[in-house]
A and B are shown apart, each in its own frame.
Chain A
Amino acid sequence: MPSDLTPANQLCVSVGEQLSASDDISLVVEANAAHMGQCLRCQAEVSSYRRMQRALKSLAAHPVDVHPQLEHQILGALDGVSRVGQRRGSAVAAATLGGLAAAASVIAIASRHRRIVRLAS
């Protein structure tokens, strides 16, 4: 804060800093009640921040213009991901079945081998 400001100006600067930093304007008003009561500039600044906060909040409820194809683009992109996922899923299922079949073959061969060994002995 510049040192050549009058004490009143310094308070105005301080109030301005608090207003822009705070999520609750009424707390700033309470904390600086004495100065706020007599400083028209700070009163105007408080009003400005209140209006600005209200307008900012209202922006979310007023969506911007959306390209008509956007919904289809998003859903199309999701289709692509789903197809890749399904292909991966199919590949995993096929690999699992293949593995099970191979394991069954190994077991069958091993048991046949044991039987042959038993008969030979």
Chain B
Amino acid sequence: MAAQPRRLRIVTDSSRNPSAGRGSKDADPDMAILVERASAGERAAFDELVRLTYRDAFGLALRLTANTEDARDVVQDAYLRAYRSIGRFRGDARFSTWLYRIVANCASTTTTRRGRHRHEALPDGDAVLETRPESDPEVQAETAELRAELDEAIQALPSRLRAVVVLRDVYDLSHDAIAEELGITVSAAKVRLHRARRRLREQVFPLPGDDLHAI
């Protein structure tokens, strides 16, 4: 099992190409082949999958835990779990989606175990950010500044709300998958998502009358 790692184009889940590769729903055929080889027990193929995906996995873990050290532990744990269970990966989803679910599960375990609620004491509206002119928001390019504001607002959310909005709106997991990995009902996941979105919107795009809505 000493196959040479192959040089591959880096592909993230943001490439939403519907044409699936062989054996799994990964958009990139090279990725699908790697997944097949790793599923067959080829360690070098799994290492290559790690190299291709660990940055995204760390990004997710960091957004879920809001803590760099925890995120590193979560990612390491997630890859160990993925390595042990890659043989059972059926390829009916993208590898990255499968991995995101494992990361979400590990992060949920970590945040629950550590009971980290450092951000929950932040009062609503305490860190109100700049109100933007809404001249033509449909055509405005999303700036790095906006992403940074959103990232900051996400980190300020309570962990229960943060997890669902990150998994649904950033990483595009289904409601069912989110509920399963967080150990909650689909209804609870939807309620949390609704609250998280509202808080984010009020924080990043405050509007007159937001206090009325908060009643």
Contact = CB atoms under 8 A, between A and B. Distances in A.
Interface of A: 1-2, 5, 9, 12-13, 16-17, 19-21, 23, 41, 44-45, 47-64, 66-67, 70-71, 73-75, 77-78, 81-82
B138 interface: yes
A44 B198 contact: no
Given A21-B190, A57-B170, A59-B150, A52 B200 contact: yes
Contacts of A52: 150, 197, 200-201, 204-205
Contacts of B54: 66, 70-71, 74
Nearest to A9: B212
B83 A81 contact: yes
Given A21-B190, A78-B79, A56 B150 contact: yes
A82 B201 CA distance: 46
**Chain B: number of interface residues, binned into ranges:** 35 or more
Interface stretch (B22-30, B55-63, B107-115, B118-126): B55-63
B46 interface: yes
- Prevailing SS type, chain B contact patch: helix
A92 to B, nearest CB: 15
Interface of B: 12-14, 43, 46-47, 50-51, 54-56, 58-60, 62-63, 68, 72, 75-76, 79-80, 83-84, 134, 137-138, 140, 142, 144, 146-147, 150-151, 165, 168-172, 190, 193-195, 197-198, 200-201, 204-205, 207-209, 212-213, 215
A74 to B, nearest CB: 5
Contact of A74 (B62, B75, B169): B75
A33 to B, nearest CB: 17
Nearest to A23: B168
